[in-house]
Amino acid sequence: MIPSPVFAAVHTIPDPPLPFWTFFIFTVIKMVLVFTVYMVGVALLTLAERKISAWIQGRLGPNRVGGKLGLLQPAADGVKNIMKEETLPSHVNKPLFMLAPMLAFVPAMLAWAVIPFGAPWDSRWGRISMVVADLPVGFLFTLAIASLGVYGIVLAGWSSNNKYALLGGLRSSAQMVSYEIAMGMSLIPVLLLAGNVTLNDIIDQQANMHIWNVLTLTISFFIFTVAAFAETNRLPFDLPEAESELIAGYHTEYSAMKFSMFPISEYANMATSSALMATLFFGGWDIPFTKQDNTSGVGFLLVLLSIAIFMVKTLFFIFVFIWIRWTLPRFRYDQLMSLGWKTMLPLALAYIVIIAATLLGLDYLGLQRGFLYGLAMLAVNAVLVVVVFFILDRGRIISPAYGRATPQQISRLRAVTTARSHLSPQSGD
């Protein structure tokens, strides 16, 4: 019989529960800290986006408020947005119109509760895990909450009672539904490898294997990244806003702070997705090339170091989000749909089958989930990456402007047009 590696991989021994008041106080501290850092970070992201976009375009970006880097620009923007007039158009559905920004904002805040941001701390009061809520289903919770954000956008579009806003909302819901599936599917290989849905266990698995998941499951990472872009409505998937087509899409009718909620939630979602990418594929808070942090709790300095490492990884992905935004143009709607349903979903499904078969094979050979196991995965992965990026990606991932005409169709069209051009001078005689 095959030893059951899936359950062997689950090596989490539940920590002894903390006394209630210790738990309570530390949870409150963690909540306050995470919320503060998160909100300030999101505010600074708006500045980062403007700065990086400016640099990419050869400009300087905001530099009038708060020194050469414009560090007080987010504060100035916040004050401006609060002072502005709140417009409430007469034709909107008022309760839903007011509810929509909150519905977009709250899930964006919630998702961070379950993301571990540091190594557990062995303090004198017991082991403090560096995650606000250590849910056993943490990972599923994030996925569920992340897809709740679409309600805000759809309701904003619908309650605005405006054609452009409605179209934005419709596009958003279609986009979310299409990419949600690919995103979920792309993460199944990660779960298969880790054998658990707790984010801390996924980090442990990567630490034990000494190889980040991005190297063993590159295609999962690729699909997850693309889907995350679609989920956060970032370019090249910003069809719900699409300012050149839909004015401002779903937030056309919003002003002042209600409007500001939507960009804030977009940036918050971006930060969440980046943190998830760092956790699931890049080893999370694990300090590279060391072992002491993934066996048990560590001292305070190492905790700080692990938090710093996690932040660096997250910030890198946030940078990638911004970088891509100022590189790629927007997809056409049909390209968006065909990419989601015809490329991402089949790719993810096929990948699940291949990875599951590989894992089964490796387990059958009796390999333990260690470095050797990772190397074997790496070899399989290298082949798959070459197949996907150099054979599949030959004009097939995104359909070009003329659609996927076969050579036969093209030659038939050519025949028709040449026949026409032969005919026309004769008829002119």
Binding site residues, another protein, CB under 8 A: 52, 55-60, 222, 323-324, 326-328, 389, 393-398, 400, 402, 405, 410, 413-414, 416-417, 420
Cα–chain center distance at 112? 13
Residue 56 or 98 having the CB closest to another protein: 56
Residue 394 or 422 having the CB closest to another protein: 394
Residue 56 or 307 having the CB closest to another protein: 56
Residue 35 or 389 having the CB closest to another protein: 389
CA–CA gap between residue 220 and residue 352 (Å, rounded): 9
Q: Find the shortest distance in angstroms from Cβ 328 to another protein.
A: 6
CA–CA gap between residue 396 and residue 117 (Å, rounded): 39
Q: Find the shortest distance in angstroms from Cβ 332 to another protein.
A: 13
Residues 6+ apart with CB under 8 A from 179: 226, 227, 230, 231, 237, 340, 344
Q: Find the shortest distance in angstroms from Cβ 326 to another protein.
A: 6
Q: Find the shortest distance in angstroms from Cβ 60 to another protein.
A: 4
Tokens standing for residue 117: 């941001």
Which residues pair with residue 118 across a beta bridge? 130
Residue 12 or 409 having the CB closest to another protein: 409
CA–CA gap between residue 271 and residue 56 (Å, rounded): 21
Q: Find the shortest distance in angstroms from Cβ 358 to another protein.
A: 23
* Residue 273, burial from CB neighbour count under 10 angstroms (0-12, 13-18, 19+): buried
Residue 49 or 201 having the CB closest to another protein: 49
Q: Find the shortest distance in angstroms from Cβ 389 to another protein.
A: 5
Instruction: Kindly report whether the peptide bond that precedes residue 236 is cis, defined as omega within 30 degrees of 0.
Output: yes
Cα–chain center distance at 34? 19
Q: Find the shortest distance in angstroms from Cβ 310 to another protein.
A: 24
Residue 87 or 327 having the CB closest to another protein: 327
Tokens standing for residue 188: 């199944």
Residue 40 or 312 having the CB closest to another protein: 312
The three-class DSSP label of residue 175 is helix
| Buried b or exposed e, range 107-141, using 16+ CB within 10 angstroms | bbbbbbbbbbbbbbbbeeebebbbbbebbeebbbb
The three-class DSSP label of residue 221 is helix
Q: Find the shortest distance in angstroms from Cβ 394 to another protein.
A: 5
| Buried b or exposed e, range 152-190, using 16+ CB within 10 angstroms | bbbbbbbbbbbebbbbbbbbbbbbbebbbbbbebbbbbb
Residue 376 or 398 having the CB closest to another protein: 398
Residues 6+ apart with CB under 8 A from 159: 92, 93, 94, 96, 97, 99, 100
Give Cα separations from 52 to 322, 326, 378, 414 (angstroms).
7, 9, 34, 46
CA–CA gap between residue 51 and residue 33 (Å, rounded): 26
Residue 323 or 364 having the CB closest to another protein: 323
Q: Find the shortest distance in angstroms from Cβ 52 to another protein.
A: 7
Residue 178 or 260 having the CB closest to another protein: 178
Q: Find the shortest distance in angstroms from Cβ 416 to another protein.
A: 8
Would you say 228 and 276 are in contact if contact means Cβ atoms under 8 Å apart? yes
Q: Find the shortest distance in angstroms from Cβ 245 to another protein.
A: 22
Closest CA to 34 of 248, 234, 241, 272: 272
